[in-house]
Amino acid sequence: MSENKRATKAIVPAAGNATRFLPSTKSVPKELFPVIDKPVLHHIVEEAAAAGLSDVLLVTARGKDALTDYFDARPDLEDALRRKGDDKRLQAVKQPEQLADITAIRQGGALGLGHAVGRGAHFVGDEPFAVLLGDEFCDIDDELLPQMIDLQSQTGGIVLALLEVPWDEVSRYGVASVNSTDNDDVVEVTGLVEKPARENAPSNLIVVGRYILPGTIFPEIDRTEPGRGGEIGLTEAMDAMRENGTPVHGVVFKGRRYDTGEPVGYLKTLVELAAQRDDLRSFRTWLRDFSAELDD
């Protein structure tokens, strides 16, 4: 096992149909929905790049070529902005292609998260790597990924990000049973279950969409039988590795997670990030007045 090797590559599964946002997602992938002036996927790749993950594989689907277009150069637009002397916008247009080396592969069917990650086997080889789900992101300042990558290079196993949520939300997620360790921020994972009924959930610690995995996950994904909906689960493959002796740890995340995968989470993300921006101070003022009216 590559105990001291650090993850430098990331897989971003982004092949879903995003039915919760239909009809918008008929032609605009949800990963390109704007979070103010950058799409969701830009925030995700920024988070990866800030953690040293500068090689990124997007797992996409038919009709989602706009995802890769976003990270490509736009010489026509760049020339127009250069002629106008609009340096600020020119830099903004060039930023996506400068963030990371982007590669794309199509999933070839909605066959589950495990299957999507498995499409990255050749891209990754047998190194440890990160998975960042394409519809959520964290504040870069919280340094979640760097902490996870450090821990994975020490254990050589699986490192997950866990978040405590209200009990009525657990059935929407992968849920971990855990033992504490000497480090307050780190737990040992003793079991994983995907979307349990609330009464069967072993805890209210959910798996958020950030994983550091060893390359040995790929043969395990190949061995994983399709479950509900004919989908191959990543949670099931990880739990099988755990049962066979791979160490699994969770970093308990205390920072802010932005979940743009469903309408209310997307709206909260927009409002929260807009309210933090100095250049949008007038929005904050408006929001304060608007919320006061709501309370009436």
Query: Is residue 21 part of the contact set for ligand G1P (CB under 6 A)?
Result: no
Instruction: Tell me how far, at minimum, the Cβ of 244 lies from ligand G1P, in Å.
Output: 20
Q: Looking at beta carbons only, is 40 or 81 nearer to ligand G1P?
A: 40
State the Cα–Cα distance between residues 90 and 83, nearest whole angstrom.
10
Per DSSP, the residues of 212-237 read: EE-TTHHHHHHHPPP-GGGPPPHHHH
Among residues 120, 209, 214, 250, the one that binds ligand G1P under rule CB under 6 A: 209
Q: Is 132 among the residues that bind ligand G1P (CB under 6 A)?
A: no
Which positions ≥6 away from 267 have C-beta within 8 Å?
A: none
Q: Is 175 exposed, middle or buried (0-12, 13-18, 19+ CB in 10 A)?
A: buried
CB of 152 or CB of 260, closer to ligand G1P: 260
32 or 81: CB nearest ligand G1P: 32
Interaction residues for ligand G1P, span 168-197 (CB under 6 A): 173-174, 194
What does each C-alpha distance from 227 to 38, 168, 195, 230, 237 come to in angstroms? Answer: 36, 24, 12, 5, 11
Minimum distance of ligand G1P from residue 123's CB (angstroms): 20
State which residue, 10 or 81, has the beta carbon closest to ligand G1P.
Answer: 10
CB 128 within 8 A of CB 232: no
Q: Which two tokens stand for residue 176?
A: 């971990």
Nearer to ligand G1P, 15 or 45 (CB): 15
CA distances from 219 to 33, 105, 115, 215 (A): 34, 19, 11, 8
Considering the rule CB under 6 A, would residue 116 count as an interface residue with ligand G1P? no
Please give the structure tokens belonging to residue 200: 């069967």
Query: Which residue of 53, 116, 133, 238 would you call a contact of ligand G1P, by CB under 6 A?
Result: 133
Among positions 189, 208, 232, 238, the unique one binding ligand G1P when judged by CB under 6 A: 208
Nearer to ligand G1P, 196 or 247 (CB): 196
Number of Cβ atoms within 10 Å of the Cβ of 156:
16
CA 232, CA 12: separation in Å to the nearest integer?
Answer: 17
Instruction: Identify which range of 4-12, 50-58, 181-189, 204-212 contacts ligand G1P by CB under 6 A.
Output: 204-212
Q: What are the phi and psi torsion angles at 6 (to 5°)?
A: -100, 150
Q: Does 118 bind ligand G1P (CB under 6 A)?
A: no
Please tell me the distance from the alpha carbon of residue 114 to that of residue 118, in angstroms, as a whole number.
Answer: 6
Residues 241-270 that bind ligand G1P (CB under 6 A): 261
The distance of closest approach from Cβ of residue 145 to ligand G1P in the complex, given in angstroms and rounded to an integer, is: 15
Least distance to ligand G1P from the beta carbon of 186, Å? 19
Let me know: does 66 contact 42? Beta carbons within 8 Å.
no
Closest CA to 114 of 127, 101, 138, 133: 133
Binding mask 222-241 for ligand G1P (x = CB under 6 A): -------------x------
Supply the minimum distance, in Å, between the C-beta of residue 98 and ligand G1P. 28
Pick from 51, 206, 212, 213 the residue near ligand G1P by CB under 6 A: 206
Query: Under the rule (CB under 6 A), what is the footprint of ligand G1P?
Result: 113, 133, 136, 173-174, 194, 206-209, 235, 261
